[in-house]
Amino acid sequence: MENISVYTKTIYTFEAVKYLIDRLSSKGEENEKLAIFVFENSWVSINEFLALKYCLADRILIIGQKKTINFLGSSLRSNKYYYINFEGGMCFLFAGMKDFIVNRGGRTCSLFPVSKHPGVKELTAQEYKVMSMYIGGLSVQHISSIVGLSIKRVYAIKNYGMRKKGLWSDAALVRHWEIITRFVHLKDYPPPQINILTISRRDIQGYMIL
């Protein structure tokens, strides 16, 4: 492949991905632009999310923890995104990358840990209201008195809304709430400035430091 872009925060991860790509890239489609994003942490920043959202590649592979994949898969709206859970080990990672690069994502996730996005689920007005008040510092008891619902019902609304958005904890809700609330207003943000590296068959074409 003449044009595979890779995002990662560490050069060591980049070299590992480059090594795997070097073993596969000669078998891929020459005229197709691919991008690979590796998220080693549990959190996704605004810039990282926007880089994914506005990436111009024909297909995009996201490698990360299951919790990261759950969040991104519930928020990104295009069929060009594919996912690999790197917690499956090196053999699964290589098989998934082969599926993405060589087989063009044609296999099912039951064979390899790569799959299309699970689908965007919008929050209802009630879920958004409850989660907004919770993230604003109000207790569930206080929210219950405001909205006129039982404490148990408020908990259920908050937790179901979090599951819709692939949020596994209150910490994840805090970290990713800005992305969720600004999702329909992304044009308000400046272009992302992140670490994008482009691999050719010959060498690394570019390396941008954060």
In the chain, where the domains are located = 4-102, 125-185
Q: Which residue has the higher pLDDT, 150 or 190?
A: 150
Q: Which residue has the higher pLDDT, 1 or 43?
A: 43
- Cα gap 36→6, rounded to integer Å: 5
- Cα gap 102→91, rounded to integer Å: 16
The pTM assigned to this predicted structure is 0.77
| CATH code of the region 125-185 | 1.10.10.10
User: How many other β-carbons are positioned within 10 Å of the β-carbon of residue 193?
Assistant: 11
Q: What are 77-112's pLDDT values in tens digits?
A: 778 899 998 887 788 888 888 888 887 765 444 333
